[in-house]
Amino acid sequence: MPDLQFFATINGRKVARNAKPHQRLLDFIRDDLNLTGNKEGCGAGECGTCSVFVNGVLMKSCLMPLAKVQGATIETVEALAKTGELSVLQKAFHKTGASQCGYCIPGMVMAATAALRTNPFADREEIKERLGGNICRCTGYQKIFDAVEMARDVQNGRLAATALFEDEAKEGDFIGKNVRRIDTPSKVSGRLKYAGDMAMSGMLHVQVLRSPHAHARIVSIDTSAAEAMAGVEGVITCADVPGEDGFGVFVNDQPVMARGKVRYVGEAVAAVAAESALVARRALSAIKVEYEPLPAVFDPDEAMRPGAPVLHDYAPDNLTKHIPIRVGDVEKGFAESDLVVEETYTTQPIEHAYLEPEAGLAYVDHDDVVTIVSPDQNITHHRHMLARIIAKPISKVRFIMSPVGGGFGGKEDMIYQGMLALLAMKTHRPVRLVFTREESIISTAKRHPSRTVLRMGLTRDGRIRALEMKMVCDGGAYGLSTEGVMRKAAILAAGPYAIPNVKVDTYGIYTNNTPSGAFRSFGALQTAFATETHLDISAERLGLDPFEIRRINAMRDGALTHTKARLTSVSLTRALNALEKASGWEPGVPNSRGNTRRDLDRDDTRPPCALGARFKTAEKQEAAE
Amino acid sequence: MLTCDEYISPVSLPEAFAAMKANRDRYRIVAGATDTLPWAREGRAGDVHIPMLIDVVKIPELCEISVGDKRVRLGAATPIQSFLDDPALARALPAMPRCAVWFADDQIRAQATVGGNIVNASPAADATPCLIAHGATVELVSATGKRTMQLQEFVTGPNKTALADGELLVAVECDALPEYGGAFEKVGHRRSLVISLVCLAALIKLDKGGRNVEDARLAIAGIGPKPLRLTEVENFLRGPLNAERLDAAADMPVSLVASRTRQEYRRDVVRGFMLRGLINAAQRAGADPGMLVPELEAAYA
C-alpha cells in the first residue's frame, strides 16, 4: 500500500505528511494532527460533529476522503479561537447557554459560522435550515438558535457587544437567572477532551468481536491466528478474567465478555488490542468462534410462559423483577364506579442517541493501579465491581470520569470498562476503545419496551375510584437497571392522583433482545404514558375537559402517595393551570373540536415542516431592490 | 470501514479509462464519496477493501456547466449545491433549487454530485426524479465511444443502471425551462438529511394570463423500484387551470404506489404532494390568483 504524500494548509499552517490512501479527512486531523476539537459522532454524515471548512466551504470530514482535499485550505474548530479569544459566535453560545454536554458544539459552532458567513442577515428560519445537518441531543436547539441570532445582531451592529457579557447576578441569587456555565469556553472552542480525544504514548487500539447470534452456546473460541498477527498485542476472552466475572446494578448477571453462551446480538465475545484500529479489526476476523444456536425468545410475554427458552440458570422463569403495589381494594373500587375503562398500551425500545459514542482509555499506572478513563455515569459503583472482577484490592482500581458527551442514563452500565482493564493488564500498555455509532446502537442498553394493561374505574363526576395496572417490560438479555426501572415505574404508575384503590404490578423479563437499562425518567415514561392517555380517554367518555379531570383527581398539599410518602406541598394544580394558559387550550371534551379548532394558524403555533426559508429571504431582497 | 491500496484522481478522460482498463474488476468510481463511505459500514456492506478508488471530479468534462437557450448541460461532477448557488442554473432549471434545498444538507450538497445521485440509483433519490421532470438525458462515454439515453431509461431498478463495464457517466443534459414554475415536495423522518418516503417534482408553464396550463411536467420517486415520470397526468393537465382539474390530477398517480411498506401513508402523501406541488409550481409560474381556490391554497401551498 503506497502512502499518500499529503499536503495542505490547515489552520493557517502548511502541513506535509505521509498518510494512508484510505484515510478520511477526519482521521487525519484527529489522529495524525491531534486536532480533536471536531468529533466523530456517526461516521456517516448524519450528525455534523465533524464539520470543517474546506477551501472556505463547510463540509463533513467523515465523508471526505483525505486524497480529495490534496492541496486544500482547511479550517477546523481550533481555527476559530486560535489566539485564545473566542469568536463572537462562540461568546454568544456561552451567553445563551447553548452548550450542554458539548459534544455537538464544535460542529454546531462551525455550522453557525458558515451560516452567518453565507448570509450575515439570515433570519431564524434560515438559520435553522442552514444548521440542518447538525444534530444536538441536549439543548432542543432553541438556545443554539438564540446564540446565532445574538451573534448575527452583534456582528451587524444591531446589538451592542455588551450583550455578550455575563448578566450580573447577586451572589446566591441564581434561580431563574442567566448564569453562564463555566465549562462552555472549553466546549465551544473544542479544547475539552472527551475520552475518544485522549491519547497516550504507546497507546494500543481496541476492537471488540460481537455475537451475531441472539442465543447460542459457545462451543469454542480460537484466538491463536489473531494473536499471531503482527501488530496485535493482546487478545482477551472470558478466560482472561481473574476474579468473579459478573456485574450489574441489582444482580451481577453479566460477564465482561460472553461466558459459555451469548444472549443477544452484539454481545461482546472477545477483544483485541493492536497498534492500530485497522490491525485490530483485521484480527477480529481471524478469531474463530464456534456457536451452537439455541432457541431464542424475543417477546417478554412468551418468555414468561412455561417451557420458554431460559436465559439465566438463576432465573428459570426469566423473571428479572416483579414489583407489586396494593392500596385498598380495587374490586370494591370498580364496583363503586359508574365507568370502567380498560386499554392496552405499548411503548418501543428507544436509543439514548447521545452524540458521543462510548469510548474509554485504560492503563496500569506506575503504582500498579488499574486506571479507567471513560464517560461513566456511575464510577464509584463500577470501581467496586471492577475490583472484584479483576481480583484486586479497591486501592488498586481507579476510575476517572471523562466529560460525558451526553448520557441520558445510557452510560450508567459498565459494559466495556472491564474489557479495557483486562487488555491494559494483559499488554502493559495504555489501551483505548472508541465505539462506532453502529456499535453503540447494537450493543448498549435501550429504554425498556413495555406492554401495559390498564383498567380504571371512575364515578360520573370524574373521580377515579380504582386503578389496576399490569405492565410487562422487555428487560433484554441482562438485568442492568431493570429492577430500579420496575420500582420507579410502579411507584409512579398511578400518577400524582389521589386514588383510593390501587393495584399495580410491574414485571421486568429476560429476553434475547438488546438489554434494556437506565434512561431518563427511569420507567415513569412507560406507566405515565398509559395513565395519562387513559385519563384523556376517560375524560372523553365522561364528557369532561382533560385538564378538569386531572384537577378533580390531583393530589393536594399533605397527600399520602400510593407508596406512603407524605407530600407536604403539591404543585400539580398550579402546574396544570399554567400549562392550560400557556398552551392556549380551548376548554372542552377532547373530541369536541374536529374541524372547528381555532388553535391553528396563530402567530405562536408552528406551521408544518417545510424547507426553503432562503428562497423567502431572496424574494424579500428582490422585492426590496 | 472502506480501505484501498490506491486512491487516484485522473485529470482527463483517457487517463481515467486507462486506469479502469488496467484495474478491471478491482476499482470503484468515486465522485462526491458521500454515498460510498457510509455504504462501507456495519449494517450495510461492512468493512470493504477496494484495491483502487478512481475519483472522477477533477476530469474537466465532468465539471463543465453550460446553459443554452434550449438545453442545459451539467457535467456529472456538478455539486448539488450549484442549483442553489448558480443563478443561471436556478433560472433554467426551476425545480432543481427546490429539490436541492431538500437534498441532504448544505454541507453534503457541496460535495455530493449530480452524477453520483444518478448512478447510485436509489429508489428514493431526490435529484433523479427532478432531473427526469426536466427532460434529462445522460451521456455515457467509454474508451471506444459515446452514447446517450433518457435518464428514466438509464435507471433500471434499485441500485441498477444501464451503465456498461468501462463506461463513465460524463454529463446530463436537461431542457431549459425558464418560463416554468418549479416545485419539489419531499417527506421523510426529519427535515434535513433524510431519505425520501415520497418525493415529487413538478413544473408548470402557463399562458400569458396565467389561466391555462400550456405544459406540465411531473416525476415521482420513493414509491417503487425507480423514479417515474407521470406522462398521463401531464397530458391531462394541459388546459384550463382550476381547482377541480388539479383535484382530479392529484388522484391519478395514487395507484402507482408499489412500495412494500407504508402503502396507505404513501398514497395519502402522493395525493397531498400532487396538490401542493402543482399549486406551488402554478403560483411560481404566475398563476392568476383567481384560478386557485383559496381553501386549496391554504391547505396545500
Is B251 part of a structural domain of the chain?
yes
The mean pLDDT value for B233-251 works out to 95
Q: Give me the domain span that covers residue B16.
A: 2-55
pLDDT tens profile A139-149: 999 999 999 99
Of the residues B175, B201, B216, which one is the last residue of a structural domain?
Answer: B175
CATH 3.10.20.30 fits A4-79, yes or no: yes
State residue A622's pLDDT score: 66
Q: Are residues A129 and B7, on separate chains, in Cβ contact within 8 Å?
A: no
* Residues B83 and B156 both lie in one domain: yes
* Residues B165 and B259 both lie in one domain: no
pLDDT tens profile A495-512: 999 999 999 999 999 999
pLDDT for residue A467 is more than 60: yes
* Residues B207 and B255 both lie in one domain: yes
Distances from the Cα of A257 to the Cαs of A229, A266, A359, A420, in angstroms? 22, 11, 17, 11
Alpha carbon distance A524, A192 (integer Å): 34
CB pairs under 8 A between A and B: 111
* Domain count within chain B: 3
* Residues B126 and B219 both lie in one domain: no
* Residues B71 and B157 both lie in one domain: yes
* Residues B46 and B70 both lie in one domain: no
Q: Are residues B3 and A22, on separate chains, in Cβ contact within 8 Å?
A: yes
Q: Are residues A59 and B107, on separate chains, in Cβ contact within 8 Å?
A: yes
pLDDT above 90 coverage of chain A, percent: 90
Task: From chain B, pick out residues whose CB is under 8 angstroms from the CB of A612.
Answer: 98, 101
pLDDT tens profile B199-216: 999 999 999 999 999 999
- Mutation choice for A interface testing from B3, B44, B82, B107 by most A CBs within 10 A: B107
- How far is the alpha carbon of B94 from chain A, nearest alpha carbon, in Å? 12
Residue A292 burial (CB < 10 Å; 0-12/13-18/19+)? exposed
What's the CATH code, domain A204-294+353-443? 3.90.1170.50
pLDDT tens profile A36-78: 999 999 999 999 999 999 999 999 999 999 999 999 999 999 9
ipTM over 0.90: yes
Task: From chain B, pick out residues whose CB is under 8 angstroms from the CB of A44.
Answer: 37-38, 41
pLDDT for residue B246 is more than 60: yes
The partner residues of A74 in beta bridges, in order of sequence, read: A10, A54
* Residues B291 and B199 both lie in one domain: yes
Q: Which CATH class is domain A88-166+185-192?
A: mainly alpha
Task: From chain B, pick out residues whose CB is under 8 angstroms from the CB of A130.
Answer: 106
Is B257 part of a structural domain of the chain?
yes
Task: From chain B, pick out residues whose CB is under 8 angstroms from the CB of A622.
Answer: none
The mean pLDDT value for A443-449 works out to 97
Of the residues B39, B55, B71, which one is the last residue of a structural domain?
Answer: B55
The mean pLDDT value for A121-125 works out to 95
- Sorted by where each begins, the domain ranges of chain A are 4-79, 88-166+185-192, 204-294+353-443
SS3 annotation, A519-561:
CCCCCHHHHHHHHHHHHHHHHHHHCCCHHHHHHHHECCCCCEC
Q: Are residues B38 and A63, on separate chains, in Cβ contact within 8 Å?
A: yes
pLDDT tens profile A89-117: 999 999 999 999 999 999 999 999 999 99
pLDDT tens profile B89-121: 999 999 999 999 999 999 999 999 999 999 999
Query: Among A373, A443, A67, A387, which Cα is nearest to B2's?
Result: A67
State residue A571's pLDDT score: 96
Is B181 part of a structural domain of the chain?
no
Is B158 part of a structural domain of the chain?
yes
- How far is the alpha carbon of B197 from chain A, nearest alpha carbon, in Å? 15
Q: Are residues B1 and A278, on separate chains, in Cβ contact within 8 Å?
A: yes
Q: How does residue B260 score in pLDDT terms, banded at 50, 70 and 90? A: confident
- Percentages of chain B per state (helix, strand, coil), in multiples of 5: 35, 30, 35
State residue A82's pLDDT score: 82
Q: How does residue A389 score in pLDDT terms, banded at 50, 70 and 90? A: very high
The mean pLDDT value for B21-48 works out to 96
Task: From chain B, pick out residues whose CB is under 8 angstroms from the CB of A48.
Answer: 105, 107
* Residues B128 and B37 both lie in one domain: no
pLDDT for residue A318 is more than 90: yes
Alpha carbon distance A189, A11 (integer Å): 14
Neighbours of A604 (CB within 10 A): 8
- How far is the alpha carbon of B99 from chain A, nearest alpha carbon, in Å? 10
Q: Are residues B106 and A58, on separate chains, in Cβ contact within 8 Å?
A: yes
State residue A596's pLDDT score: 59
CATH of the domain at B90: 3.30.465.10
Q: Is A624 on the interface with B (CB under 8 A)?
A: no
Q: Is A281 on the interface with B (CB under 8 A)?
A: yes
Q: Is A133 on the interface with B (CB under 8 A)?
A: yes
Q: How does residue A517 score in pLDDT terms, banded at 50, 70 and 90? A: very high
- How far is the alpha carbon of A372 from chain B, nearest alpha carbon, in Å? 27
pLDDT for residue A597 is more than 70: no
Query: Among B180, B64, B196, which Cα is nearest to B127's?
Result: B196
